[in-house]
Structures are given as C-alpha cells and as structure tokens.
Amino acid sequence: MHIPDGIIDAPVILVGGYAVTGGLTWFCLDRINRRERDPQSKIPKAALLAATFFVVNAINIPVPPSSLHLVLNGMLGVVLGYYAFPAILVALFFEAIIFQHGGITTLGLNGMIMGFPALIAFYLFRWRSRFKLKEPLRTKVFAFLAGAGGVMIAAGIFTLTVILTITSDLDAQAERQATYVALALYGIPAVIEGIFTMMLASFLDRVKPGLLEGTLKVGEP
C-alpha cells in the first residue's frame, strides 16, 4: 500500500500530499499539547508501536502495482490516539530510507494514506460511548470496526490515488484491474486486523483501560 518514488508523475499531487500530511501532523501535535499535561510521557509507548508498525510493514507480499501486508494503523489509532499520525509518519520515513519501502517524494502521500485512517479509527472507537450497546460488546464491536476500517480506508485512498495518476505510458486498464484486485485482497488483512484490534482493546479495557486513547471524555468534542 506504499507508493514508491517514480510511480506518481504529478508534482501537484506530491506537493499536495506533503501539504495534507503537514497539516494533519500540526493538528495532531496541537491536540496533544492541548490535551496532555505532559506530552512527552507517552512518547515511549508511541515509539514502541511505531517500531511495531515499521517491522510489520516491512514484511510484504508483492501484488502489482504494490504489495500486500498487515498495516496496523487502525490499532495504532485506538491505542495511541493523536500520537498515531506522527508515529506512523516517522515509521514510514525510516522504511523509505532503510528498505526503500515507499519513497521520499511520496512520503507525504504515504503519510496521508496510512495516517489519516488511523485518526478515523481513533475517532470511531472514541465515539463508542454514544451508542447504546452493552459492555464489553460495545468495545469489541468498535475496536473491530476501527481495526478493519483503518485498513480499508487506507486501501481505498491508495486505490483512488493510483487510478487518478496512471501515466500514459502504462496500460491503464491493466493497472486499474490490478489495483482493484489489490483492494479486494486487503479485505483479508482488514478482517484479521479487526479481530486483533478487538482482542487487544478488550484485553486492555479489562486490565488497564488507561492504555486506550480512544475514549471520549465528558465534555470533549
């Protein structure tokens, strides 16, 4: 789901990706500074999960024009909250320079593809208290939706980006078909990650709920 250098031949798209990612990074850091008494206290947890994201994303199965692998961005959103986006961005940067998985010119796009769904997953899990479901069913349902949704939203953004930027020297129809196949295949890891996120959130909610960032507090927007 990473877009490598050279695939996107549209400077406006590349610059736009950096602009969106820069804006989302600023938004997350601003929220962290406003919400946390000690913003640095959760950096170790964010670093640990960023390393997990880095390792998992380095293991991939080639599926032209990209590759298939576990993502875990929804899980990071549930556990890290606003820390998830900068953590994912840092992991993507190191993947690009160490493994050439992704690219520097496309880092903004990849940050948007992977990080934005993590924020959606965070908000989805965070809003679970607004729905009339009994616990622990409510936590399990919304954790599954957050984990699976993070993958599928990222896959959808990736698919749209690739289709809209297919260059004239490629077989557009073949590229679209391959991209649609890759999108459909991501339904498998989406279900797996949904189940994993559900199990993790359910466990943490029982033993140490403070580790879950996706909790809507009274009076918060």
User: Using CA of residue 31, residue 35, residue 41, residue 42, what is the dihedral sign?
Assistant: negative
Residue 217 has pLDDT above 70, yes or no: no
Alpha carbon distance 88, 4 (integer Å): 16
Tell me the two tokens of residue 117.
Answer: 């769904």
Contact 92, 133 (CB under 8 A): no
Q: Can you tell me the mean pLDDT for 169-186?
A: 76
pLDDT tens readout for residues 63-120: 555 556 788 999 999 999 999 999 999 999 999 999 888 899 999 999 999 999 999 9
Q: What is the CATH number of domain 11-210?
A: 1.10.1760.20
Q: How far is CA 82 from the centre of its chain?
A: 12
Delimit the domains of the chain by residue range.
Answer: 11-210
The model carries a pTM of 0.89
Closest CA to 77 of 49, 42, 54, 109: 49
Count CB neighbours of 190 within 10 A: 23
Contact 146, 205 (CB under 8 A): no
Contact 207, 71 (CB under 8 A): no
